[in-house]
Amino acid sequence: MISRRDFLQVGMAASALVGASGFGNWARLAAQQRLTQDQLLEFETFGNVSLIHVTDIHAQLKPLYFREPSVNIGVGENKGAVPHVTGADFRRLYGIEDGSPNHYALSSGDFSALAQAYGRIGGLDRMATVINAIRADRPDAILLDGGDTWHGSYTCLKTDGQDMVNVMNAMQPDAMTFHWEFTLGSDRVAEIVEGLPFAALGQNIFDAEWDEPAELFKPYKMFERGGTKIAVIGQAFPYMPIANPGWMFPEYSFGIRDENMAAMVEEVRAAGAECVVVLSHNGFDVDKKMANVVPGIDVILSGHTHDALPEPVLVGETIILPSGSNGKFVTRCDLDIRDGRMMGYRTKLIPLFSDVIEPDAEVAALIDAQRAPYEAEMSEVIGQTDSLLYRRGNFNGTWDDVICDALLSERDAEIALSPGVRWGPSLIPGQDITREDIFGVTSMTYGKAYRTEFTGEFLKVVLEDVADNIFNPDPYYQQGGDMVRTGGLGYRIDVSKPQGERISNMTSLSTGEAIDPARSYIVAGWASVNEDTEGPQIWDVVENHIAKLGTVTVSENNSVEVVGV
Amino acid sequence: MELTRRKILAIGSGTVAFATLSGLPAFASLTDDAIAAFTGGAETGEGAITLTAPEIAENGNTVPIEVSAPGATEITLFAAGNPVPNVATFKFGPLSASRSASTRIRLATTQDVIAVAKMEDGSFQMTKANVKVTIGGCGG
């Protein structure tokens, strides 16, 4: 008899084969101008159940450029483990050729040149085409949205998420979980969720007053597909009221709640589920730990930390599939569910090359309809860029440098702080910067740019605290963002040290002097979780700054020295 | 602009964490004393007591804590980083259907919450959970 483990190994091999047929050949195919939609979609249907996973779209309806990180440090047991492998190391690990389409889609390095060659990625009309093609193969495929869908663009902010709700509903998802959605405020979330034609899931969304499961969100949904029963358990972002303003959704409490997750797995197994899928917004390292702690999960569809991996990661007998961000990818995961268990799998991470995949006409028209009322104001050109503008990376990105410079000059501050979020499309050298582009890296419901005074001592406390949210060796204490970006302030960070000992050599970049713990500094920042924050909206601050500059040029930023890696 | 406590909490993080650095050693010995007072200095075992607490507190002023120890006659909770470590003692009679309790406690800073159970045979079981009190960065 073949054990479950053997079957999983077979599944891995099958998955690797798909990887080989897709990945190894793409560079050559592209060189021959033969990269086609059929090749991107090529997939030998497997088993009896298909899952389709999209996540962290951040309201990016249209194709975009999005540079993956070059710095993504893992700590503790995750040191050197995916997704903490970047650039050329990542390509060697997965056998991806330099200069190939997958180099461009999945890793950093030569981004601007490759972006010129391969064009934009994503767009929900392309996503619709891929989803429809998978459904043509497997009509009862389960489409799952990992959340961070109703946030991140001009039109999403102006319509309180309605543009995304309209477009996603057209694609008929089966279930969804949540994070930034809650920053629309709990009344608006309730209004949308009550009308959703699919399941709104989160086993860890609780009522804050009584610490009981919240009524509006169900922990899981059972699906009868392919002659078997599949349970999909939702896992919302655990640290919502800590990383985002809790006053916007005071009725709710979150947390990882892995004891309750284990109870839900037992409950769905007892109810006849032969396969347990977790639709997660934990972040990748948290998902890995949860797979170790909670027995009985077959598949974790992983979101939040915006990682895209061409093959699943196996933890025990659980496969974890992270599907990237900003609408760049769709994951197809075929499962063989028999005799009460998952016997094998075959997966493919499909990059949505927008020049290769035909847009779905119906969804394209729907997207245009959402955008039409705002097209004139958001397409206005504010300036140009000479530099690649991107955000992803643990310590700084050129877009953040522009935002910090805007805060320093427009708010007349000595030091600027900008949140280490992972969303926001990139711009390549020579592009116009439109108002929509600025909203792409700043839009949120709590975007006011504050101006205040911090002592040097308190600045260190802030940096230490944020650093511990990223580099705490226990993933359950990681919130999944990147380090707060600083303008006018340089420092040294030892990621291997505990909280309180990581940050040193804090220096004022304007004077070259060490930061004085006792002195007060004028600090400008944005995205405070404080309810009564005052100041202009960050997108106005950035727009004024770029309009004055005309053309943006960002020089290399060496203000953060990283050690202990 | 003068920073109120609420604003400091909201802006970045860590005043709380900062307080820990100087405060913890003194509080830790206070906690050791308090535990010794409960156990009479007896050795404590592990495994027969479960403490459920959030990894990171959403609000340090009201942190939900749940403790369960089948066969316990008393369970005491300690907050090692609070000025006064003793939080609560729950007593169970022979007819208690379950030897578990849940409550909410205030935590001054990142610290260990410790639960010690006195069992029916007079032995003691102990477990702890580290609860981080932070204001956090910004998630992806």
A149 and A235 fall within a common domain: yes
SS3 state at A321: strand
Token couple for A424: 């926001």
Hey, are the CB atoms on A242 and B64 less than 8 Å from each other? Answer: no
Strands A49-54 and A142-145: parallel
* Structural domain boundaries enclosing B96: 5-133
What CATH number is associated with residue B18? 2.60.40.2470
Tokens of A497: 């040290």
Q: Cβ of B13 and A462 within 8 Å?
A: yes
Q: Which residues of B touch A246 (CB under 8 A)?
A: 58-59
CATH number at residue A390: 3.90.780.10
A479/B139 Cβ within 8 A: yes
Give the chain B residue nearest A528 (alpha carbons).
B11
Please, how many CA atoms are within 13 Å of residue A234, restricted to the half-sphere of its CB?
A: 31
How many distinct structural domains can be found in chain B?
1
Query: Quick check: A527 and A447 in contact, CB under 8 A?
Result: yes
Chain A interface, best mutation among B2, B16, B56, by max A CB count within 10 A = B56
Which CATH number covers residue A134? 3.60.21.10
Sign of the dihedral through C-alpha A201, A202, A208, A211? positive
Contact list in B for residue A530 (CB cut-off 8 A) is 6-7, 10-11
Which pLDDT tens digits describe chain A residue by residue (565 residues)? 344 444 444 444 334 333 333 343 444 445 445 689 999 999 999 999 999 999 999 999 999 999 999 999 999 999 999 999 999 999 999 999 999 999 999 999 999 999 999 999 999 999 999 999 999 999 999 999 999 999 999 999 999 999 999 999 999 999 999 999 999 999 999 999 999 999 999 999 999 998 899 999 999 999 999 999 999 999 999 999 999 999 999 999 999 999 999 999 999 999 999 999 999 999 999 999 999 999 999 999 999 999 999 999 999 999 999 999 999 999 999 999 999 999 999 999 999 999 999 999 999 999 999 999 999 999 999 999 999 999 999 999 999 999 999 999 999 999 999 999 999 999 999 999 999 999 999 999 999 999 999 999 999 999 999 999 999 999 999 988 999 999 999 999 999 999 999 999 999 999 999 999 999 999 999 999 988 899 999 999 999 999 999 999 999 999 999 999 9
Domain boundary among A319, A344, A369: A369
Residue in chain A closest to B52 (alpha carbons) equals: A259
The answer to the question of residue B138 being in a domain is no
Distance from CA of A93 to the nearest CA of B (A): 25
Among partner residues A238, A254, A530, which is closest to B11 by beta-carbon distance? Answer: A530
B58–A241 CB contact, under 8 Å: yes
Q: For residue B81, tell me if it sits in a domain.
A: yes
Whether B140 is in a domain gets the answer no
Last residue of a domain, one of A369, A388, A418: A369
In this structure, what token pair is assigned to residue A378?
Answer: 């958001």
- Domain-located, residue B35: yes
Residue at A31 is within a domain? yes
**B49, pLDDT greater than 80:** yes
In a domain, B139, yes or no: no
Query: Is A29 part of a structural domain of the chain?
Result: yes
Residue A374 lies in a domain: no
The answer to whether residues A131 and A357 touch, using CB atoms and an 8 Å cutoff, is no
* Position B25 in a domain: yes
A149 and A208 together in one domain: yes
Same domain, A398 and A284: no
Contact (CB, 8 A) for A67 and A108: yes
Is position A429 within any domain?
yes
Tell me: do A430 and A528 sit in the same domain.
yes
**Could you say which of B3, B102, B136 has the minimum Cβ distance to residue A242?**
B136
Q: Are residues A156 and A38 in the same domain?
A: yes
**Is A485 within the bounds of a domain?**
yes
A63 in any annotated domain:
yes
Q: What pLDDT shows up at residue B134? A: 84
In whole angstroms, give the CA distance from residue A245 to residue A531: 7
Chain A residue with minimum CA distance to B4: A530
Residue after which a domain boundary falls, among A346, A369, A392: A369
Q: Are residues A340 and A402 in the same domain?
A: no
- Do A281 and A304 contact (CB within 8 A), yes or no? yes
Q: Is A561 helix (H, G, I), strand (E, B) or coil?
A: strand
- Are A62 and A205 contained in the same domain? yes
Q: pLDDT at position B27, please?
A: 63
Of B12, B64, B139, the CB nearest to A481: B139
Q: Do A419 and B138 touch (CB under 8 A)?
A: yes
Range of the domain at A464: 379-563
Task: Please say whether the beta carbons of B83 and B107 come within 8 A.
Answer: no
For the cut 50, the answer to whether the pLDDT of residue B22 exceeds it is no
The interface pTM score, or ipTM, of the predicted complex is 0.82
Domain for residue B115, yes or no? yes
Mutate one of A249, A304, A461, A474 to test the B interface: name it (highest B CB count within 10 A).
Answer: A461
- If asked whether residues A9 and A44 sit together in one domain, one would say yes
> How many separate domains does chain A show?
2
Q: Of the candidates B3, B15, B56, which has its C-beta nearest A239's C-beta?
A: B56
Q: In the structure encoding, which two tokens stand for residue B80, read together?
A: 């090692």
